[in-house]
A = this chain, B = another copy of it.
Amino acid sequence: MTTVRGARARARIEITAAIKDEARTQLAAEGAAKLSLRAVARELGMVSSALYRYFPSRDDLLTALIVDAYDSVGAAAEQAAAAAEQERPLDRWTAVCRAVRAWAVAHPHEYALIYGSPVPGYTAPQDTIVPASRVGLVLIDIARRAHTGEGVALPPLPDDLRPEAVRISADIAPDLPPALAVALVAAWSQLFGLVSFEVFGQFHRVVEDRDTFFATAARRLGQDVGLLPRG
């Protein structure tokens, strides 16, 4: 009986995966705003109404794609951090930044889905919150280890930012100093500024050797969160 149920469950998982794959293909061609259940069904040789057994609505399919994308870039970041386990914090930081960028360049449409303009009329449900935080947690963890290890060097916090800094650090990393927490949030957003400009084409005819440019910029971001150039 588990066999039968297992077979059905497997089929369901496979079809679900096929739907998401085809949807990702269409994301690339038409963008999230025009993602259409009908077109997905047509391409899979199904009839549109059949898809509703797998995803109750277009927005649920979109949510699944968003969660997958966050998980995918989050896993890439985690793997990069693990692979650079033995290196110094600044090098681990740079490795994670590179991994995020590499993922974005390899998956520009999924990147746009999660870090680009919000899809009009769509509001992300709670399910996306945890996956969305994975990259940030990796960056926090690198800074945490540097902080408890060799220490970090940060410029002083302006007085007017202190209350917010205390609040942020309590929220995201209570064990870290407020100045470090705000520096991390700033660096996090700035990392995605670099990546977005590359992926969205703003560097067209401006930056050409993007690998090298990015590596230097990412390293400086690491220094902005207090990671030291030499152990």
Most-contacted residue by chain B among A113, A117, A186 (CB, 10 A): A117
> Quick check: A193 and B182 within 8 Å, CB to CB?
no
A55 to chain B, nearest CB (A): 20
A207/B31 in contact, CB under 8 A: no
- Check: A99 CB closer than 8 A to any chain B CB: no
Asked if residues B192 and A196 are in contact (CB atoms below 8 Å), the reply is yes
Q: Could you tell me the dominant secondary structure of chain A's interface residues?
A: helix
With beta carbons under 8 angstroms apart, the residue of B163, B185, B220, B221 that contacts A206 is B185
Q: Is A161 within 8 A of B193, CB to CB?
A: no
Residue A119, interface by CB 8 Å: yes
Interface size class of A (residues with CB under 8 A): 35 or more
* Given A186-B194, A194-B186, A220-B186, CB of A207 within 8 Å of CB of B118: no
Task: Given A193-B189, A207-B164, check contact A155 B117 (CB 8 Å).
Answer: no
User: Given A189-B194, A212-B160: A200 and B117 within 8 A (CB)?
Assistant: yes
In the complex, A69→B45 CA distance in Å? 42
Contact A207 B190 (CB under 8 A): no
| Contacts known (A117-B117, A196-B193); A220 close to B224, Cβ less than 8 A | yes
Inter-chain contacts of A174 with B (CB < 8 A): none
Interface residues of A (CB under 8 A from B): 29-34, 112-113, 115-121, 132, 155, 157-158, 160-161, 163-164, 167-168, 171-172, 182, 185-186, 188-194, 196-197, 200-203, 205-209, 212-213, 216-217, 220-221, 224
Residues of B within 8 A of A186 (CB): 194, 213, 216-217, 220
Pick from A113, A192, A201 the residue with the most CB of B within 10 Å. Answer: A192
Q: List 8 A-B residue pairs with CB atoms under 8 Å apart, sorted by A's residue number.
A: A33-B34, A168-B206, A168-B207, A185-B203, A186-B213, A189-B196, A191-B193, A192-B196
Q: Nearest 4 A-B pairs (CB), nearest first?
A: A193-B193, A116-B117, A31-B120, A112-B117
Q: A164-B213, A206-B172, A208-B167 are in contact. Are A31 and B119 (CB under 8 A)?
A: yes
